[in-house]
Amino acid sequence: MKPRPLFLWPGISRSRFSDRGSGGMKLIVIYGPPGVGKLTVANALSLHTYFKVFHNHLTIDCTERVFEFGTEGFWRINGKLRCEVIAEAAREDIDVIHTFVYAKGQDDDYFRELIAAAEDNGGETHLVMLRCSNDERKTRIVSESRRQLRKLTDANSVDTSQQRADLLSPLPGRETLTIDNTDLTADQAAQRIIEEFCLKE
């Protein structure tokens, strides 16, 4: 058996190191504005599919222990951690659900690096964008579960966030399943994802 490299950065073809077949890992990226229900839907999807949930605050929390939140160094290390985890999951055939807040234009390059981390290592990527009404987001964003994860819990940010960045548009050039989950349960949204991408339950 060929030895697997300890590290393979996005952009380097995995075919040089592994002769695994084409039925590789699946990466489901669920994105949308804060409070839309990304992690709730990801957890519901995980219960149906047994995909691993790799949500954005896992890397934020560990990076913030060393680097000040929002600094250039913070985001650089945060992005590398996410890409490395996803790249290794692809090499190991581990199906993953990842969540994060995408700002069109600002995050395009990073989003494509995230996708490449899976696809350059034999995986396939499916994108899901969640939307809901502002009133519903204001209700969800102050939930106790968000406080426990040290997430943004300011209801006023729902009205101001769109003035700072476009958080409601899909990544250009990639097919995205858009789900308005204002009136959907997390299980119903998860079922839509399962049916759209023919995921096994």
Q: How far apart are alpha carbons 14 and 86 in whole angstroms?
A: 13
**Least confident residue range of 10-24, 34-48, 161-175:** 10-24
- Whether 8 shows a pLDDT value over 60: the answer reads no
Q: Nearest CA to 155 among 173, 166, 139?
A: 139
pLDDT value of position 137? 79
For residue 107, what is the DSSP state? S
Going by CATH, does the domain composed of 22-196 fall within 3.40.50.300? Answer: yes
Closest of 168, 155, 88 to residue 123, by C-alpha = 88
Burial class (CB in 10 A: 0-12, 13-18, 19+), 135: exposed
What sign results for the dihedral spanned by CA atoms 188, 167, 197, 16?
negative
Name, in order, each residue with C-beta under 8 angstroms of 20's C-beta and a sequence gap of 6 or more: 93, 122
Give the pLDDT of residue 66.
86
Q: Which stretch of 11-20, 22-31, 126-135, 182-191 has the lowest confidence by average pLDDT? A: 11-20
pLDDT value at residue 29: 97
Q: DSSP letter string over 19-73?
A: ---S---EEEEEE-STTS-HHHHHHHHHHHH-PEEEEHHHHHHHHHTTS-TTSHH
What's the pLDDT at 196? 97
Intra-chain end-to-end CA distance of the chain, in Å: 31
pLDDT one-digit tens code per residue, 95-118:
999 999 999 999 999 999 999 999
Going by the DSSP 8-state scheme, the letter that residue 14 receives in this structure is: G
Q: Kindly report the backbone phi and psi dihedral angles of residue 100, in degrees, each rounded to the nearest multiple of 5, phi listed first.
A: -170, 165
Q: Give the residues across from 177 on adjacent strands.
A: 128
pLDDT digits (tens, 9 = 90+) for 145-194: 555 555 555 555 555 666 678 999 999 999 999 999 999 999 999 999 99
